[in-house]
Structure 1
Amino acid sequence: MKRSERKPKKLWFKVPLAIVLIILVGVGVYVYSIYDNAKDTVNEKMHEPVKSIDHTLTAKKMKATKPLNILLLGVDARANDRGRSDALMVMSLDPENNKMQIVSIPRDTRTMIVGKGFNDKINHAYAYGGADMSVATVENFLDIELDYFVRMNMQGLDALVDQLGTITIDNKIAWQDGKYNFTKGPTTMDGDKTMHFVQMRKQDPAGDFGRTARQRQVIQGIVNKGASVASVSKINGVIDVLGNNMTTNLDFDDMKKLLSGYKGTRENVVSYMMKGNGTTIDGTYYLQVPDSEVEKVHGMIAEVKS
């Protein structure tokens, strides 16, 4: 098993687009007037099959409402640049116990890049081979089986929050960043303020781990707001944002089955951040995740799947 981790080179927000999938799991009701728009957007703009996932086997699991593992990739993609998956999470859905588990994999984790044959930062797998190579690399790293992936260009996150209106979270620490004054306690944010909230690292005593915790708070805030969206215009707006910024091997029928069979999993969300030790190899920073930690996370995911 392998590992790796690196110091953030820039502070662009890298929240996993668990967001989208969780909203799709959480919104829970389709309005007839947006049905066709949603179907066309998902199947024609968002759907992207990958060879590393056996969709026939996954479809059988979905039909039987079995637990599923979904890789969430938050990518900072620019024009003529595929980008890197600077946020990676494995989301496990347990419909029998109405539980959702989200495990964060630090982007600088040093591990074997499947298809390349050498060790590198795990987030480089996406740059080398897109979602397909990311899926294969995470499966190899954790010795697990993934059923779906969801990739979101994080440049669209602020637009997603703005389409929902605002989100509210319980801020744990107070700070100012020159534009916004973040006070402790309930904090309501639009898209731009949300980006500032998750970008901050240096003023957080917990550093990157604190930033990751804030990312999870934002996800939960979006879940809560998304679950209450009833306006057709808002839902259509969300669909348009997702269509321009999200890809997944889920098709529209898969998403409908998630809504009907896995909606209850959002009632009990637990999260975990993989741990390791920073090291420098040939002048490059990595996070070395010990075998014991990899085995622990493998067990957490396997327990959901059992």
Structure 2
Amino acid sequence: MMMEDKKWFKQKKYQITLGIVLLLVFGVGGYAFSLYNSFNSALDNIHEPINKTDKRENDISIKKQDPFSVLLLGVDERANDSGRSDTMIVMTVNPKEESVKMLSIPRDTKTEIVGNGTVEKINHAYARGGAEMAIATVENFLDMPIDYYVKVNMEGFKDIIDTLNGVTVVNDMDLTYKNYHFPKGEIELNGKEALIFSRIRYEDPRGDFGRQIRQKQLIQAVLDKGTNLSSLLKIDDILGNLGDNIKTNFTLTEMLNIQKQYKSLNKSIEQIQFEKGNGGKEAGVWYYYPDANELSEIKQTLKSHLLLK
């Protein structure tokens, strides 16, 4: 799900700029000024810096088109609850090759939780120590640096969809969850329905892998809906929801450089998934165990894409 979220940021910012220009052309300068202030306020709320990874010998620069990595965390975070990362997607971006590789990590993967001194499900890392512990754990699991992160509160994600008056997706499998039925084919979803659709797990024989497909569909649907003119009229509300539900260590300058230089990268995304592992229970807890050879191959693929040894 993480290149799509980064695309989300880029496209929203592009829409804001276009919206301001249109408003100025029509002489509504006062509203444009208000919108600009909302934009800056949202960026202040979104930006949450963390310590730089110690797996990099040298600093990287998006402006200079250095390859970089991003960890997308889809977090189920509610009041008085630190939450767990239901979605963990690692993306590597190589601007000079004009390519992106995207890996979804099964949430039940058994691994060391770096900084906590335990071996448990990888999605527990966020609950134990927030974004920084999640990043450190993923870095250890894949033996590679994580340069940036984007955290999305999935509970608040429905507010953004409702602001857009719902989204349309093409469901590839007939699914039912309690009183909710999602038939195969094109379906319309409001915010609550989209959230349930993104969380279905046990009712899908593909488990986590099926859920990852649906989450990607929803992100793409939001991007598609957000590019139409009617959404520009709601951009103030969208910005408010973004600021409340998304955190990232990307700076404004880095986001501007991404928007400027990497517009076509979304057309060349290679999806990578774990396919050879297996699952089992330990003391009543279900874990996913990656295949050692497949994990080694994935590590090498991602590191090579980052031009690392």
TM-score, scaled to structure 1: 0.84
Distance (whole Å) between structure 1 residues aligned to residue 2 and residue 165 of structure 2: 18
Can you give the 5+ residue segments of structure 1 that lack an aligned partner in the other structure? 1-15
1:59, CA displacement in angstroms? 6.7
1:73, CA displacement in angstroms? 0.5
1:283, CA displacement in angstroms? 2.9
Amino acid at match of 1:41: A
SS in 1 for 2:135: helix
SS in 2 for 1:247: strand
Q: 1:225 to 1:232 in 2, by over 3 A?
A: closer
- 1:221 counterpart residue number: 221
Q: 1:25 to 1:152 in 2, by over 3 A?
A: same
Amino acid at match of 2:10: V
Deviations 1:235-263 (A, max 9, x none): 22221111111111112222112211222
- 2:204 counterpart residue number: 204
Equivalences for 1:147-226 in 2 at 5 Å?
Answer: 147-177=147-177, 179-226=179-226
Amino acid at match of 2:42: T
Say what the alpha-carbon RMSD is for the aligned residues: 2.6
Find the partner of 2:10 among 25, 28, 35: 25
Decide whether the 8 Å contact of 1:164 with 1:229 is kept in 2.
Answer: no
Moved more, 269-278 or 82-91: 269-278
1:129, CA displacement in angstroms? 1.1
1:175, CA displacement in angstroms? 3.6
- 2:291 counterpart residue number: 290
Decide whether the 8 Å contact of 2:60 with 2:68 is kept in 1.
Answer: no
Distance (whole Å) between structure 2 residues aligned to residue 94 and residue 170 of structure 1: 30
Equivalences for 1:1-306 in 2 at 5 Å?
Answer: 19-27=4-12, 28-31=14-17, 32=20, 33=32, 34-43=35-44, 45-53=45-53, 60-177=60-177, 179-228=179-228, 231-275=231-275, 276-306=277-307
TM-score, scaled to structure 2: 0.83
Distance (whole Å) between structure 1 residues aligned to residue 67 and residue 136 of structure 2: 19
Structure with more contact order per residue of length (Cα contacts < 8 Å, sep ≥ 6): 1
Q: 1:191 to 1:39 in 2, by over 3 A?
A: same
Q: 1:194 to 1:126 in 2, by over 3 A?
A: same
Decide whether the 8 Å contact of 1:26 with 1:223 is kept in 2.
Answer: yes
Deviations 1:82-103 (A, max 9, x none): 1111210102223334433321
Decide whether the 8 Å contact of 2:2 with 2:89 is kept in 1.
Answer: no
| Structure 1 stretches of 4+ moved >6 Å | 56-59
- 1:10 counterpart residue number: none
Amino acid at match of 2:234: K
Q: Look at both structures and tell me which one has the larger radius of gyration over its CA atoms.
A: 2
Can you give the 5+ residue segments of structure 2 that lack an aligned partner in the other structure? 21-31
Q: 1:128 to 1:178 in 2, by over 3 A?
A: closer
Decide whether the 8 Å contact of 1:74 with 1:85 is kept in 2.
Answer: yes
- 2:27 counterpart residue number: none
Q: 1:266 to 1:19 in 2, by over 3 A?
A: closer
Distance (whole Å) between structure 1 residues aligned to residue 183 and residue 173 of structure 2: 7
